[in-house]
Structure 1
Amino acid sequence: MTRQTTEQPESSRLRILKAAAQIAAERGYEGTTISRICERSGLPVSSVYWFYKDKDDLLAEVVLHSFTEWLADQPAWLSTPGVPLGESLRAILTRSVRSLPAAPEFLRIGHMLSMERRETEPAGRVLFLQVRERVRADLARWFTESLDPAVVSSHPDLPDHLAMLIIVLTDGLFLADQMADIWDPDVFVDIIVVIVEKAVAVASS
Structure 2
Amino acid sequence: MVKGNDSASSAAGSSSRDVILDAARSLITSQGYDGMAVSDLCARSGLPASSIYYHFGNKLGVLAALLDRTFNELHALFPNPASFDDREPLERFETWFSAACDSLDRRPDYLRLLLAVSVGPHKDAESVRTTVRRIRDYAHASWVDALTPVFASDSGESDGPFVEQLAVLGRAMTDGLSVTNSFDGTSYSSHVAPFVSLVRGLAEERARAQV
Q: Check whether TM > 0.5.
A: yes
Partner AA of 2:61 in structure 1: D
Structure 2 length-normalised TM: 0.80
1:113-133 CA distances to partner (integer Å, 9 max, x unpaired)? Answer: 222245953633442233112
- 1:18 to partner: Cα distance: 1.0
Contact in 2 for aligned 1:103/1:174 (Cα 8 Å): no
Sort the Cα spacing of 1:184 and 1:80 in 2 relative to 1 into closer, same or farther, 3 A.
Answer: closer
2:198 to 179, 195, 198: 195
Match of 1:16 among 15, 20, 41: 20
Q: Name the CA shift for 1:158/1:54 in 2 (closer, same or farther; >3 Å).
A: same
Return the match for 2:72 from 68, 75, 86. 68
**Distance apart, 1:78 and its partner CA:** 0.9
Partner of 1:5: none
Shift in alpha-carbon separation, 1:57–1:104, aligned structure 2, 3 A: farther
Determine if the alignment matches structure 1 residue 36 to structure 2 residue 28.
Answer: no
The root-mean-square deviation of aligned C-alpha atoms, in Å, is 2.6
Taking structure 1 as reference, are residues 109 and 124 closer, same or farther at Cα in structure 2, changes over 3 Å only? farther
Task: Indicate which of 174, 179, 185 corresponds to 1:170.
Answer: 174
The yes-or-no answer on 1:109 pairing with 2:113 is yes
Q: 1:44 to 1:54 in 2, by over 3 A?
A: same
Tell me, in whole angstroms, the C-alpha distance in 1 between the residues paired with 2:185 and 2:148: 35
8 Å CA contact 1:90, 1:189 repeated in 2 = yes
Residues 70, 104 of structure 1: 8 Å contact kept: no
* Deviation by residue 1:44-86 (Cα, 9 ceiling, x = unmatched): 1121122111111111010010000101112211175573322
Percent identity over the alignment? 25
Q: Structure 1, residues 3-48: CA drift from partner, whole Å, max 9, x if none?
A: xxxxx88431111111111212222232122111111111111211
Which one scores higher on RCO, CA 8 angstroms, separation ≥ 6?
1
Q: List gaps (5 residues or longer) in structure 2.
A: 1-11
Give the Cα separation in 1 of the matches to 2:204 and 2:30: 44
Instruction: Label 1:66 to 1:173 Cα distance change in 2 as closer, same or farther (>3 A).
Output: same
Post-superposition CA distance 1:131-167 (Å, at most 9, x none): 1122102321343345324588473312212221221
Could you say which residue in structure 1 is the equivalent of 2:50?
46
Paired with 2:155 and 2:27, the residues of 1 have a C-alpha distance of 47
Between the aligned partners of 1:152 and 1:176, the Cα distance in structure 2 is 38
- Distance in 1 between the 2:155 and 2:120 partners? 39
Q: Aligned letter for 2:31?
A: R
Where does structure 1 lack aligned partners over 5 or more consecutive residues?
A: 1-7
Instruction: Tell me the number of residue pairs that the alignment of Structure 1 and Structure 2 aligns.
Output: 197
Shift of residue 100, structure 1, vs aligned partner: 2.1
Tell me how far apart the structure 2 counterparts of residues 119 and 16 of structure 1 sit (CA, whole Å): 21
Letter in 2 for 1:121: A
TM-score, normalised by the number of residues in structure 1: 0.82
Closer/same/farther in 2, CA of residues 107 and 65 from structure 1, 3 Å limit: same
The secondary structure found in structure 2 opposite 1:78 is helix
In the other structure, the counterpart of 2:142 is 138
